[in-house]
Amino acid sequence: MNPLDLSLRGQAAAIAAGEANAAELLDATLARIEERNPAINAVVATFPEESRSMLAEAPDGPLRGVPVLIKDEWPLPWRAQRFGAAELLAPTAPGESGPYRALRDAGAVVVGVGNMHELGAGSTGNVSVYGAARNPWDTERCPGGSSSGPAAATAAGLVAGAVGADGLGSVRFPAAYCGLTGLKPTFGRSAMAGHHMEAVTTLIVSGPLCADAADCRLLGSTLFGEELAAGAASGLRIGVVRDTVSEDVTPEVDEACGAAIEALRTETGGEIREIELADLDAATLAGILIINAESLGGVSPERLNDLDPGISPINRGFLKYRMLLPAAAITQAERVRTLMRRRLAALFEEVDVIAWPTIPAVAPPLEAPLVELPSGTQTADQANVRGAALANLTGIPAISVPVGFGSEGLPIALQLQGAWGADELLLDAAEALERANGRRWVDARPPLAQAEPAGA
């Protein structure tokens, strides 16, 4: 097999065994980006000279010589992050971010920067200063956001793994839309240094986007700075909630996720328990309010009156609207956070994971990111955030796992959420799910990833 098409762990093992040449792999990766990226606009910067320098100095770590993409959300020593926007409202400069250091110390090679939804403020990836990223499964569809580029690039086989960030679902949505596995770590476990909101955020984490759970375990271990040991996930107690997040979804999502939950139960010899988790709507709003309040640090009216004209109209308006959010609502949001953390702590005495669809519908069109749900037509952002915000609000880990395809050939995904620190268990459960369905969904590749270059 072409080393480019190996898994992340396969590339690492091939290089370590001397079966693949890391310099050749880097050159081939850069060539593939040049070849395939125009169709998906996933990679917004490459820097061959710096990448080759990283390779030349790479230590003998678990990812030695493996090319990895990083989201436009952290600085690199030779490039400041742009956050997918014409301007960032926080100071930014080139530097050694936490994810960069983690990758470097593991021997990985940062091969490029991934596109992202402007200012991280969207679940679709169709708004960016670089232009929309596109979904490799259908380039007229949204790749998901805000980690749009890392997901699209990995799904299209430009790289075998990428680093994203998740503040309200921004690793899980693009993983789901692009048919990947994406881990939103427990708050504080993964590298965050250098992020322009690191000092104030209580929601955002870095996380891996890869084809499957084993690759997420490897890249996650790098970001965590500790090995995420594998376990069995036997006798898994799976909690399911009968609420909007699980019921206001398209029939094909409902069917695929229901089948996956049953398959997971069978594979692990576990059980399914119906659980109550009230006030999910309040938790979602609390997450939205808190992240918006946190991102206002240092933003003055004068600053908002002098925005770069390249900022999209929707974010220009919403940045100004944020200033009008009532302080009482932020305070109430913090109380809701405490309420939900206590409820989850009690629930995780009864179940090991909570399962519901990552996304209520498959990837919508780039031109009109709307979804048709039983409750009616909604923006994808409105619908998606309902299932994602709880994990960010409370700090718990969550993972999105591909579990099928809809009638239009677009991926469907199940989300598993676990107790604080149960990141390893979620990876174990994702691997159990892969076994249960014969790796059918994690091994599927979009047509773009199967294409050979002209003349090959």
Question: For binding to another protein (CB under 8 A), which residues are involved?
Answer: 186-189, 202, 279, 281-282, 285-286, 288-289, 301, 304-305, 313-314, 316-318, 320-321, 323-326, 328-329, 331-339, 341-342, 344-345, 348, 382, 394-395, 419-421
Q: Shortest Cβ distance from residue 262 to another protein (Å)?
A: 29
Provide CB contacts within 8 A for 450, sequence distance 6+.
none
Q: Shortest Cβ distance from residue 131 to another protein (Å)?
A: 20
Structure tokens belonging to residue 365: 């069109």
Query: In Å, what is the CA distance from 294 to each residue of 118, 153, 202, 287, 333?
Result: 17, 30, 8, 11, 12
Identify which of 77, 69, 66 has the alpha carbon closest to the alpha carbon of residue 101: 77
Instruction: Name the residue nearer to another protein (CB basis): 297 or 453.
Output: 297
Q: Shortest Cβ distance from residue 337 to another protein (Å)?
A: 7
Please identify which residue in the block is written with the tokens 């620190």: 421
> HSE on the CB side for 329, CA within 13 Å?
17
Identify the helix (H) or strand (E) that includes residue 379: strand 376-379
Q: Shortest Cβ distance from residue 304 to another protein (Å)?
A: 5
Instruction: Name the residue nearer to another protein (CB basis): 339 or 451.
Output: 339
CA distance 226 to 257: 31
Q: In what order do the strands lie in the sheet with 43-46?
A: 43-46, 109-114, 67-71, 161-166, 205-210, 181-184, 398-405, 411-418, 353-357, 237-241, 271-275
Instruction: Name the residue nearer to another protein (CB basis): 247 or 334.
Output: 334
Q: Shortest Cβ distance from residue 37 to another protein (Å)?
A: 31
Instruction: Name the residue nearer to another protein (CB basis): 79 or 189.
Output: 189
Instruction: Name the residue nearer to another protein (CB basis): 326 or 455.
Output: 326
Q: Shortest Cβ distance from residue 34 to another protein (Å)?
A: 37
**Which residue intervals of 111-250 are DSSP H helices?**
148-155, 172-178, 213-224, 244-247
Instruction: Name the residue nearer to another protein (CB basis): 215 or 381.
Output: 381
